[in-house]
Amino acid sequence: MAEKSISGRGTWGSKIAFILAAAGSAIGLGSLWRFPLMVGRMGGAVYVFAYILAVFFIGFTEMLAELAIGRYSQKNPVGAFEAIRPGSGWKYLGYTGVITTIAILSYYAVVAGWAFGYLYKTIFGLFRNVTWESSAAIFDRFVSNSWESLFCFLIVMGITTYIISRGIQAGIERFAKVLMPLLFILMIFLAIRALTLPGAGKGIAFYLKPDLAKIDVKVLFFAIGQAFYSLSLGMGIMITYGSYISKRENLVSSAGWVCFSTTLVAFLAGIIIYPTLFATPGLTPEKFAPSLGLMFQTIPLVIAKLPGGFLFGFLFFILLQVAALTSTISLLEVPVAFLIDEHNWRRSKAALFLGGISFFLGIPSALSVGASTALTRFGFFNKMDLLFGNVLLAIGGLGVLIFLVYFWGIKPALEEIRTGCPRFRLQPLWIFNVRFLAPLAILILLIFIKTVTK
Ligand code: TRP
């Protein structure tokens, strides 16, 4: 990841190295799997636009705040709050991040396991002559087979733990540097194919023609939640990454690039999935909206429409796996770095311990998508995602903003941002957002969301 500098703390070799690593953490299942799913649940285009606005006004603001705190303090999240405000209790916000990343990793790796399962299913030709019914059935059968899904989950957790325990993220990121642009190109191909399917128009309308009557608290709340989730915000990941950025680099444009590329990937994922769905006879949004399998069930349909579909399918699921792994790595690195820095644990011990906890915590999630009737009815997976993937991210993000404004100060924060970016053109907008818009929006939505999620 980072090369050691004279001060003993690593710095990114270059600006592009940082952007790629941060984008590696950000771009993953959040954009490819969760975003299209949320679009379906929230009723289409309104949510797409709400998400884009949330990224611009809140995600970007938050990312810049986290990067500035990290680069200024040169510390992990727990250490960073403590360094800027010693003895203030703000370090507990860092602890929330440690716990939440473990919780998110626990179910995130379950989905990454599905991606792994699809890799070998593609090899065995399961997507030949695929129809919507067969594709849906393949997914349902897979996730309700507890042994198979647990096995795939274990593999992904094992790989993640191994990479973190050996501290070889740098090697993986070097891979990802080449593979992520490839994923992007492949997605453009798939998007073109999807958009040219007969009947794709209705899907495009669903995805891009907003029905303003559908805006409500829920749509806005989950748009912000998704912005945080897909950009890896609210948990101190960007504080950690910021601590490795050199003072010469421009934080504003780096943050801008990460936000832009992540949003683009998410947007493309929807452009592939919705036209494909609407071009499939007999399918309506109501039929697929609740299913966590949306992406897994739809991608085979468009891949089947390409000449040499098997090859494309295989490539897609390999790249999906890499995208997911660069995110699981960043999720596990937060609590591991905490145990190493603050409690002097050995890296391998910390990785094994926390990887193990995540695995056991993830078992009920893995079983709650059909394998166990009781857990499925309880909706364990969705409850984890709601609590940790939305509410706690929002609380964590709100905490960071309050800390920045009232306990560190806009002035020193701006000084940090302007180091390496003397002409910060969005400065007035950023100040307004960090002071008022972002914290108030999060706060109000957090208060009201209780009434709609009951
Ligand atoms: N952003 C990643 C994705 O979209 C997931 C992720 C990685 C994450 N690190 C995070 C989400 C930290 C929240 C907080 O796939």
Q: For 17-51, how does the pLDDT look when each residue is reduced to its tens digit (9 = 90+)?
A: 788 888 999 999 999 999 999 999 998 999 999 99
Report, in angstroms and rounded to the nearest whole number, the Rg of the chain calculated over CA atoms: 21
Q: Whose CA is nearest to atom 9 of ligand 1?
A: 232
Instruction: Tell me if residue 10 falls in helix, strand or coil.
Output: strand
Cα 331 to averaged position of ligand 1 atoms, centre (Å): 7
Token pair in block for residue 428: 């007035």
Please give the residue that has the higher pLDDT: either 259 or 129: 259
Please give the residue that has the higher pLDDT: either 303 or 282: 303
* CB of 395 closer than 8 Å to CB of 446: yes
Task: Kindly state whether residue 8 falls inside one of the protein's structural domains.
Answer: no
Ligand 1 atom nearest the C-alpha of 323 is 15
User: For 315-330, what is each residue's pLDDT tens digit?
Assistant: 999 999 999 999 999 9
Please indicate whether residue 28, judged by its CB atom, sits closer than 6 Å to ligand 1: yes
Token pair in block for residue 119: 């890799």
pLDDT of residue 20: 83
Q: Whose CA is nearest to atom 3 of ligand 1?
A: 30
Please indicate whether residue 291, judged by its CB atom, sits closer than 6 Å to ligand 1: no
Task: Kindly state whether residue 218 falls inside one of the protein's structural domains.
Answer: yes
Burial of 344 (0-12, 13-18, 19+ CB in 10 A): exposed
Please give the model's pTM, rounded to 2 decimal places: 0.94
Q: Point out which residues pair with 3 in neighbouring strands.
A: 11
Please indicate whether residue 227, judged by its CB atom, sits closer than 6 Å to ligand 1: no
Cα 232 to averaged position of ligand 1 atoms, centre (Å): 4
Cα 104 to averaged position of ligand 1 atoms, centre (Å): 8
Task: Kindly state whether residue 4 falls inside one of the protein's structural domains.
Answer: no
Whole-angstrom distance, CA of residue 227 vs CA of residue 359: 26
- The pairs formed by 5-11 with CB atoms below 8 angstroms and a separation of 24 or more are 5/246, 7/74, 9/74, 9/243, 9/244, 10/244, 11/244, 11/245, 11/246
Whole-angstrom distance, CA of residue 30 vs CA of residue 26: 8
Please indicate whether residue 115, judged by its CB atom, sits closer than 6 Å to ligand 1: no
Phi and psi angles of residue 300, each rounded to the nearest 5 degrees, phi first: -60, -30
Please indicate whether residue 63, judged by its CB atom, sits closer than 6 Å to ligand 1: no
Please indicate whether residue 312, judged by its CB atom, sits closer than 6 Å to ligand 1: no
Task: Kindly state whether residue 7 falls inside one of the protein's structural domains.
Answer: no
Angle at 344 between CA 343 and CA 347, to 5 degrees: 115
Positive or negative, the CA dihedral 393, 441, 417, 176 is positive
All residues at 6 or more sequence positions from 286 whose CB lies less than 8 Å from its CB, including other chains: none
* CB of 292 closer than 8 Å to CB of 180: no
Task: Kindly state whether residue 129 falls inside one of the protein's structural domains.
Answer: yes
Instruction: Tell me if residue 4 falls in helix, strand or coil.
Output: strand
| CATH number of residue 359's parent domain | 1.20.1730.10
Please indicate whether residue 229, judged by its CB atom, sits closer than 6 Å to ligand 1: yes
Cα 55 to averaged position of ligand 1 atoms, centre (Å): 14
User: For 288-310, what is each residue's pLDDT tens digit?
Assistant: 666 899 999 999 999 988 888 78
Please indicate whether residue 31, judged by its CB atom, sits closer than 6 Å to ligand 1: yes
pLDDT of residue 324: 96
Task: Kindly state whether residue 3 falls inside one of the protein's structural domains.
Answer: no
Please give the residue that has the higher pLDDT: either 389 or 338: 389
**C-alpha 104 chain-centroid distance:** 10
Whole-angstrom distance, CA of residue 208 vs CA of residue 198: 18
Q: What residues make up the domain containing 406?
A: 15-452
Task: Kindly state whether residue 10 falls inside one of the protein's structural domains.
Answer: no
Q: Whose CA is nearest to atom 12 of ligand 1?
A: 232
pLDDT of residue 44: 92
Average pLDDT, the chain: 91
Cα 26 to averaged position of ligand 1 atoms, centre (Å): 6
* CB of 381 closer than 8 Å to CB of 387: no
User: For 92-101, what is each residue's pLDDT tens digit?
Assistant: 898 898 999 9
Q: Whose CA is nearest to atom 10 of ligand 1?
A: 232
Cα 129 to averaged position of ligand 1 atoms, centre (Å): 34
Whole-angstrom distance, CA of residue 218 vs CA of residue 392: 16
Token pair in block for residue 202: 């209705």
Token pair in block for residue 52: 């884009």
Please indicate whether residue 230, judged by its CB atom, sits closer than 6 Å to ligand 1: yes
Burial of 49 (0-12, 13-18, 19+ CB in 10 A): middle
Mean pLDDT across 390-404: 96
pLDDT of residue 11: 73
pLDDT of residue 208: 97
Q: Model confidence at 10, in pLDDT bands (50, 70, 90)? A: low
Please indicate whether residue 326, judged by its CB atom, sits closer than 6 Å to ligand 1: no
pLDDT of residue 171: 72
Ligand 1 atom nearest the C-alpha of 30 is 4
Task: Kindly state whether residue 9 falls inside one of the protein's structural domains.
Answer: no
Share of the chain above pLDDT 90, in %: 72
For 413, other C-beta atoms within 10 Å of its C-beta total 21
* Most ligand 1 atoms within 8 A of CB, residue of 319, 327, 328, 384 to mutate: 327
Instruction: Name the domain count of the chain.
Output: 1
pLDDT of residue 3: 45
CA dihedral 242, 244, 250, 256 (to 10 degrees): -50
CB crowding 267-281: b at 16 or more within 10 Å, else e: bbbbbbbbbbbbbbe
Ligand 1 atom nearest the C-alpha of 231 is 1
